[in-house]
Amino acid sequence: MPAIVSEVLKGSIAEELEIQPKDEIVSIDNTEMSDMIDYNFLCKSDFLTIEVKKCNGETEVIEIEKDFDEDLGIVFESAVFDRVKPCLNKCIFCFVDQQPKGLRDTLYVKDDDYRLSYLQGTYITLTNLTDKDKDRIKRMHLGPFYVSVHTTNPELRVKMLRNPNAGKALENLNWFRKNKIPFHAQIVLCPGYNDGEKLERTLSDLAKLKNTVLSVAIVPVGVTQFRKEGLKRVDKKCAEQTLEIASKYKRVCCSDEFFLLAGRDIPPSKYYGSFSQLEDGVGAIRLLLDDFKSRKLPKALNKSLRISFATSYAAKDAIEIIAKDLNKIKNLQVTVNPVKSDYWGQDITVAGLITTDDLIRTVKDLDTDLVIIPSVMLRPYSQDFLDGKTLDYVKKSTNKEFFVVKDIYSMGEIVEYLKSLS
């Protein structure tokens, strides 16, 4: 995977130099790059010499004079320019392994690369972290990282990840602390494995690492109907127990789903601190509700409008609270229609896993002018659902108009749209 340009930002140095998509950045100052970490480091200079292999096969050497911290304005196809470090685990709860055939190819990719964790916030298990990797992390003082801990019990972690190297987790995390490398920790809670007393041990061990641990997120295991092994889902009793254990420790947050399963209110924003693990569903509902409360709604629309939120069951309660206020707007009628996942099974309740057929079944008979869906239903920068079908396919199948909300933590796009009709 060479350093292939995917986009050149307008008004940038790269645009001025006529660098184009599909060009390859071969080297900077005669130094080849293995990833965006190298690229960012090498670009921190007033003078650069870059070698560019143009998409037509010609090679150019360009000298650049710029401000020390000025960006070149290049977006690459990948953050890693050599081979992505693959995941070597066979985790009992791995979601990739419980997917059926026929989905997008990218959904079957399992990476475990510390560079992507640093650059993009993906989770790593540290089971393939080498001494060379550690030397680079220490030398460049990289961090923070996002680490899938799950348990600090060596024997249990080997059993859950099905990798003999998994038992070295606490050893690696202590190395992080010794070298002042901060990290966020993730625990996928699997009832019967790492819950209860075993969770207590994990949180106690992480607490001893003090400020090296920036946050701990506890999320429930996802169990689809394609799972062949006997994993239990988190139920109300388990959720209540987990919330009680987590409340004893600082910087430990449970995902929104635990509160929903336990029948509790979503906590105030101070519970989530800096909302550092939103992608894990930790604080997403609170952020959405608080954002909506900060918006000034129009009193009336200039014509009647019916809109329907096609949402996940996990977000249903929050969207219903929002819909109640939106229905106070004159000439506006709002309904909330959670999408049942027949494809994955009833235990999967998140919007990012909704497929086209489940969405079509939910909205095709609705009496509505506009269906609102979150962008997480689609592949980033595309109109593709995870089953490979497109939004156009859904539109034709339902004869409905759709509004895709790009910022899933904000109601700003919806409110501004309504204001334009007032």
Name the one residue in this structure whose structure tokens are 């930790």: 282
Q: Is 94 exposed, middle or buried (0-12, 13-18, 19+ CB in 10 A)?
A: middle
- Where are the CATH 2.30.42.10 domain residues in the chain? 5-76
pLDDT at 282 over 70: yes
Find the mean pLDDT for residues 379-398: 88
CATH number attached to the domain at 96-282 = 3.80.30.10
The pLDDT mean for the chain works out to 92
CB 366 within 8 A of CB 335: yes
Of 73, 76, 87, which Cα lies nearest the Cα of 37? 76
In the prediction, which pLDDT does 83 show? 87
Tokens of 321: 């609270």
Q: Read off the pLDDT of each residue in 156-178 and give the average, rounded to a whole number.
A: 96
Backbone angles phi, psi at 216, to 5 degrees: -130, 125
Query: 55-89, pLDDT tens digit by residue?
Result: 999 999 999 999 998 999 999 999 999 989 999 99
CATH 3.40.50 domain range(s) in the chain: 293-420
Question: What is the mean pLDDT of the segment spanning 184-213?
Answer: 97
The token pair that represents 70 in the structure block? 């000025």
- Is residue 109 packed enough to be buried (19+ CB in 10 Å), middle (13-18) or exposed (0-12)? exposed
252-254 and 213-220 as β-strands: parallel, antiparallel, unpaired? parallel
CATH of domain 5-76: 2.30.42.10
> What pLDDT, on a 0 to 100 scale, did the predictor assign at position 162?
94
In the chain, CATH 3.80.30.10 covers 96-282
Helices (H), 165-251: 169-178, 197-207, 236-246
Q: How far apart are CA 231 and CA 20, in angstroms?
A: 49
pLDDT over 70 percentage in the chain: 95
Q: What is the mean pLDDT of residues 116-126?
A: 95
Helix or strand run (H / E) with residue 293: helix 284-293
Q: How far apart are CA 130 and CA 114, in angstroms?
A: 10
pLDDT band, very low/low/confident/very high, at 222 (cuts 50, 70, 90): confident
Band (228; pLDDT cuts 50, 70, 90): low
Inform me whether the pLDDT recorded for 107 exceeds 70.
no
Q: The domain 293-420 is classified under which CATH number: 3.90.550, 3.40.50, 3.40.720, 3.30.60?
A: 3.40.50
* Res 182 pLDDT > 80: yes
